[in-house]
Amino acid sequence: MSIKYAILGFLDWTPLTGYDLKKQFAASETFHWSGNNNQIYTALVQLYNEGLVSKEVQDQESGPSRKVYSITTEGREALRQWLLTPPELPQLRHPFLAQLAWAAQLTAVELDTLLSQYENEVYVKLRMAQEQAQRDTRQSPRRTPREELLWGQIGNYWVAFYQHELDWVRRLRAEVTE
C-alpha cells in the first residue's frame, strides 16, 4: 500500500498539516510503517502535483507558515478507486523468528532471558493496543456508524494479534523450560 492513499484517507476526514498527519500515523498501529517525515512530506508534494490535494498556506505570528492540505474531488476519486482494488495480503516480517531460528546455541538461561524480554515487549504492545482501542483517538466529526465499526474492528485486530503473540511466547517459554 502506498502512503499516499492513507494520507488521502486522513484528508478525507478533515484538512491537515504535514505535522498533523505525522501525529495521525504515530498514533496508529496500522500505519506505523509509513509515518516518517520524509515519506509524508514527499507524498504530500506528489499528491499536490497530481492535483489530488490542495494546499493553503497560513501565516503565523510566531513560527513558520503552516501548509494545510485538503483532499480534492480528484483525490476522493483516486481514494475510491484504490478502495475498489483487490486487497493485498499482509507482508509479514518477523525479526524475532529469525533470531529464534538460531537461538538453540544459547544456554538455557540465555534463551529464557531472550524469550522473557520478547514476552515483556509484546505485553507492553498488547496493553498499548488495548488502551488505544478503548480511547479511540481517531475520532472525526464526520464519522459514520459503519466507519466507527470498521475502525473499531481494526483496533480489535491489533489487540487479538498481540494477545496471540503473547500466548504463543508464553507457551514456548513453558515448553523450553520443561
Residues 113, 53 share a domain: no
Chain-wide mean pLDDT for the chain? Answer: 89
Same domain, 71 and 121: no
Q: What is the grid cell recorded at 56?
A: 493553503
What CATH number has the domain bearing residue 55? 1.10.10.10
User: Cβ atoms within 10 A of the Cβ of 5, count?
Assistant: 17
Same domain for 11 and 32: yes
Report pLDDT for 17.
95
Please tell me whether the overall predicted TM-score, pTM, comes out greater than 0.95 for this model. Answer: no
Structural domain including 120 reads: 95-177
The phi, psi pair for 24, rounded to 5°, reads: -60, -45
Q: Which of 19, 50, 83 is the last residue of a domain?
A: 83
Is 165 domain-assigned? Answer: yes
Written as nine digits, the cell of 124 is: 507492553
pLDDT digit string, tens, across residues 79-105: 999 999 999 888 788 999 999 999 999
Structural domains of the chain, count:
2
Q: Do 53 and 99 lie in a common domain?
A: no
- Provide long-range contacts, Cβ within 8 A and 24+ apart, for 33-36: 34/3, 34/6
Closest residue by Cα to residue 47 from 17, 82, 71 = 71
Specify whether 116 is located in the same domain as 159.
yes
What pLDDT, on a 0 to 100 scale, did the predictor assign at position 1?
A: 63
